Structures are given as structure tokens and as C-alpha cells.
Chains A and B, each alone.
Chain A
Amino acid sequence: EVQLLESGGGLVQPGESLRLSCAASGFAFSSYDMSWVRQAPGKGLEWVSVISDSGDRIYSADSLKDRFTISRDNSKSTLYLQMRSLRVEDTAMYFCARWANGELPVPFDHWGQGTLVTVSS
């Protein structure tokens, strides 16, 4: 069974940094592209970033790429999101999600339950 377990969320002050982790199990993590998606309280989904299976290709939302960095450690089956200079508006549930393999990769066929990041003074 595919499992994605996010961790690392919490309460931080504006300007601080935080690193989120997503531990994957139940599939060959190193063979799948992975993403982060966030959702502010009561708001819609917002795509954050995607990283290829080997980590050699990364795309991030233009509005976030200067502060947020996606990475992965295939030896640990873990996805990361390094967030810097956090702002109040970064308060959200952060989900990691898998891309399914196929003739064309299918985005977000499995999701974690999310980790909540609250940015407040």
C-alpha cells in the first residue's frame, strides 16, 4: 500500500525557516516524480513544486521558487521542502503527492494527509 507521511510542520515566526519531510513507503520511491501542494485554511489547492525521480529536474511555482526548495533522498525514500523567509501567507496545510508512471506521468495519484505550517508572530 502506498503511504506518504508528512512531518515537520508547526508554528514559526515570520522570517524563519522550516524543512518539511515526506516519508514514502509501499512503492519504489526512486522511480517516481514527486510534488508538494499546499492549501491555506479555507482556500483552494496551490501547486508548489515538482521533482523528477532522479532529482535532476525541478519546477517550482514562480511565486515561491525564490524561497522554497524541493529535494529528495532516494536512499531514505524521503521528499523534502525547505522553506525560507516564511510569511504569514505561507500558513497552510502542505501535502506531498506522487506522480504515477505511465506513457505520460499522471499528477498526484496518491497524497499524504498533510502537515500544517502556521506562520504567526
Chain B
Amino acid sequence: SYELTQPPSVSVSPGQTARITCSGDALPKKYAYWYQQKSGQAPVLVIYEDNKRPSGIPERFSGSSSGTMATLTISGAQVEDEADYYCYSVDSSGKQSVFGGGTKLTVL
């Protein structure tokens, strides 16, 4: 079955840049999407189609994708950005969706 691989944790100080990666074999041809989930809350879409930001998401959130790796970048991370982040995509057939295992971002 198709898998997306994320690092379990990333830690930065406030104001630094946080980068969270997501690797998958189908990413060269399929979009990546990113979701933020704070403790006890439902996830929130923060990046879609590799690098587009929904309305209401701060400009410090950006996305990119190259080859088999997609990256979520938080420029000038803030304490309120502490959360679990999940990438999402589909396999080469487009019929099986998958989330990455999630990355816990610590900002302190």
C-alpha cells in the first residue's frame, strides 16, 4: 500500500523557520496537501495543491514540492504554530488516499 513518510518531530525556537518534509513515490505527479491539528481539535487545511494557501491562513505558511518530496515551511514560527502537521496525497491510481504519519512541531 502507498505510504507518505514524515519525520516524527521538528523543533524550532520562536522566529525561526520550520520545515516539515513528506516523501512519497507518487508526489512527482500528485499534489500534496497539509493539515494542522492542534491538541483536541479537528484538523485545518493550511496548504493545498503543493503550494496554495487557503484564505485565512497566515502568509508564514508556505509549501513546495520537488520530485518525491513535499515540504511545508513555516517562516518565523510562532508559539501558536505548535501542533501536529499531516501531509496528504493519493497514490498513482488516484483511488487510494493516504495521510503521512504526522509531525509534531514544537516551538519553544
Contacts and interface: CB of A to CB of B under 8 A. Distances in A.
A108 B43 contact: yes
Interface residues of A, number: 21
Contacts of A95: 42-43
A40 to B, nearest CB: 12
Contact of B42 (A35, A44, A59, A114): A114
A44 B99 contact: yes
B16 to A, nearest CB: 25
A32 interface: no
A47 B42 contact: no
Nearest to A50: B97
Report the interface size class on chain B.
20 to 34
Contacts of A45: 35, 37, 43, 86, 88, 99, 102
B43 A47 contact: no
Interface string B92-103: 000111111110
A89 interface: no
B33 A47 contact: no
A44 B45 contact: no
A106 B99 contact: no
Given A44-B86, A44-B101, A59-B95, A106 B49 contact: yes
A113 B44 CA distance: 11
Interface in B58-103: 84, 86, 88, 95-102
Contact of A46 (B35, B45, B96, B99): B99
Interface of B: 1, 31, 33, 35, 37, 42-45, 48-49, 54, 84, 86, 88, 95-102
